[in-house]
Amino acid sequence: MITPVLYTIQAVQPAAHLFEVSLRLAEPDPAGQVFSLPAWIPGSYMIREFARNIVSLSAEAGGKAVPATKLDKHSWRLPAGIQGPVTLRYTVYAWDLSVRSAHLDQTHGFFNGTSVFLAAHGHEDAPHRVDIRPPKGLEDARWRVATSLPEAVGEKGAAERYGFGLYRADSYDDLIDHPVEMGTFTLGEFEACGVPHAVAITGRHDCDMGRLLADLKPVCERQIRLFGEPAPMSRYVFLTTAVGDGYGGLEHRASTALLCSRADLPHVGMDEATDGYRQFLGLCSHEYFHTWNVKRIKPAAFVPYRLAEENYTRLLWAFEGFTSYYDDLMLVRSQRIGLDDYLKLLAKTITQVHKGSGRHKQSVAESSFEAWTKYYRQDENSPNAIVSYYTKGALVALLLDLRLRAESHGARSLDTLMQALWQRHGQTGIGVAEDGIFALAAELGGEALAGWLQELVEVTAELPLEQALRRVGLKLAWELASPAPGIGVRTVAEGEMLKIANVFDGGAAQAAGLSAGDVLVAIDGLKATAGSFDKLLARRLAGDSAKIHVFRRDELMRFEVELRAPLADTAKLAVDPDARANAIALREAWLA
């Protein structure tokens, strides 16, 4: 029997944000055992150097200290010739309130395995165990544990559901794909297609758990039935942290870590769903869809993950973009939102893509490949230089879905393609080749369809949205976001200051010489603030000249800016009252 790699983890100084971790390895490499921490976490495509948060590390064997030599930014090696078990002990600083890393204080603890569990090289495929221990100094706090890690049933010290104790994983890859929340969270449970689901909410909130669970259940069931029962997980957990202002999610094989604004959660007595609640349900739907698309159906470049370096693929438009398409679509299919709400959400996505001039410079395939250096490292020029593989990828999915439906008279759709991907790749573990989506499209709709799809993702031409939407009886129109003239900037308020965050290509501000980072002081001698800026522009006409004073660094500068007419760049979708019966039938089948 293979001896498991055994970890313990404990919050030893919650006020100092410190976890203490130990790793016991029964049979170290006699040539010198190497340990390392991942440099990135799957689903978030950026090198994050998690090892920088290891505060101290020591090793011992046979009751004696042994040196652990650091090899590089995230790796250590023990001396050759060590016999018998070795134990590493190290502390991890955890103060990143996000879904990607680890966070600890007196109110709760959260961690992803990629932030706290060193990998023992050569033993990644061995079974792993982790003993999650109660926090020191908070014995009376009545903390519980929420995670999709299975309890080590039948083993000494096995945890009970939601309790501290021993948990199991089949491998290191399995171990690091189940985040853990500990604290006094609110807990709710439901079943979807026979699979137990749990929602754990950390942070102060007034969530109507009954409504949230009732809304999540049909969304989950629609997704399970899309790919086919049984679901690929035996249990699923939504780990949610509610804060004053926040948004984010990260997928895992049987759970998701979510960050949301507490105001976005439903409250008792809320009649109609708010925009914030619809956004939160969409986030839950998005991360849940990843259970199939990217956690099990993966690009070949991710099989296996290489967690010490970037893993490049041009396919994120399909794995993130298609997921972004289905997240809101599943809300309308499960009747959590109506047609009007769905059209508003889809119009918002169209608007987001259309307003960024970066769509003319970067294809969605290039955006996927350059996620590591561009999408996840955005700066003030990003709207002018890049396109999102989330939003444009979602529109590519829409176009592919509607064309498949129209040309097959409803016999095939993007659902058909996703089901084929699940059967050929998700259930087999075989990664999707870089041209795999195009090849499958050719099978479903012919070479012309595959060539058309490849052109959508490889070039920067405008997407043929109007024609596609007409096929399902919808009309796309373009409206003004505001009747006021503009200068082509996005501003952010920082305390009393109003700062230019982005200067858009081809706008009046760029032509006049204004730059991102400039602090707006006055327009025509009147103080510019977050509350007054738009109002001051609204009192002008296109063609007027405005004198704008800014601070650039510590220097006061003056610019003459010619105001320009606003652009009709905001999408609006509506049902076409003159649509033919076949278009209406396609629309109903698409959304049903």
DSSP-derived secondary structure for 525-549:
TEE--TTTHHHHHHTS-TT-EEEEE
Cα separation, 521 vs 10, in Å, equals 51
CB 484 within 8 A of CB 535: no
Structure tokens at 580: 């033919």
Q: How far apart are CA 257 and CA 263, in angstroms?
A: 18
Q: Are 287 and 258 in contact (CB under 8 A)?
A: yes
> Which tokens sit at 169?
């994983």
Kind and range of the H or E element at 89? strand 86-93
- Paired tokens of 198: 């749990």
Give just the sign of the alpha carbon dihedral 223, 227, 229, 233. Answer: negative
**Yes or no: is domain 5-183 CATH 3.40.50.10470?**
no
Q: Residue 525: which region, alpha, beta or left (left: phi > 0; alpha: psi -120 to 50)?
A: left
Report the side by side order of strands in the sheet with 34-36.
69-72, 75-77, 34-36, 119-120
- Residues linked to residue 11 through DSSP beta bridges, in sequence order: 19
CATH number listed for the domain at residues 185-291? 1.10.390.10
- State how far the alpha carbon of 494 is from the alpha carbons of 97, 236, 441, 559, in Å: 21, 40, 48, 22
Query: Of how many residues is the chain composed?
Result: 592
Three-state DSSP state, 59: strand
* Strands 5-13 and 128-133, sheet pairing: parallel
DSSP reduced 3-state for 52: helix
Q: What is the pLDDT of residue 375?
A: 97
Write down the pTM of the prediction: 0.96
For CA atoms 266, 272, 277, 282, the dihedral sign is: positive
Domain segments of the chain as ranges:
5-183, 185-291, 489-562
* Cα–Cα distance for residue pair 207/242, rounded to 1 Å: 10
What's the number of CA atoms in the CB half-sphere (13 Å) around residue 51? Answer: 18
List all residues 6 or more positions away from 214 whose beta carbon is below 8 Å from its beta carbon. Answer: 190
- Burial code of 247-257, b = ≥16 C-beta within 10 A, e = fewer? eebbbbbbbbb
Cα–Cα distance between 547 and 524 in angstroms, integer? 5
pLDDT at 1: 67
- Helix and strand numbers (H, E) in the chain are 17, 28
**What pLDDT shows up at residue 186?**
98
Residuewise pLDDT in 10s, the chain (592 residues): 689 999 999 999 999 999 999 999 999 999 999 999 999 999 999 999 999 999 999 999 998 999 999 999 999 999 999 988 999 999 999 999 999 999 999 999 999 999 999 999 999 999 999 999 999 999 889 999 999 999 999 999 999 999 999 999 999 999 999 999 999 999 999 999 999 999 999 999 999 999 999 999 999 999 999 999 999 999 999 999 999 999 999 999 999 999 999 999 999 999 899 999 999 999 999 999 999 999 999 999 999 999 999 999 999 999 999 999 999 999 999 999 999 999 999 999 999 999 999 999 999 999 999 999 999 999 999 999 999 999 999 999 999 999 999 999 999 999 999 999 999 999 999 999 999 999 999 999 999 999 999 999 999 999 999 999 999 999 999 999 888 899 999 999 998 899 999 999 999 999 999 999 999 999 999 999 998 998 999 889 999 999 999 999 999 999 999 999 999 999 999 999 999 999 999 999 999 8
- In degrees to the nearest 10, what's the CA dihedral of 237, 241, 247, 252? -30
Residues 551, 519 contacting (CB under 8 angstroms) = yes
The CATH superfamily holding the domain 489-562 is: PDZ domain (2.30.42.10)
Which H or E run includes 167? strand 165-169
Rounded Cα distance between 255 and 113, Å, is: 13
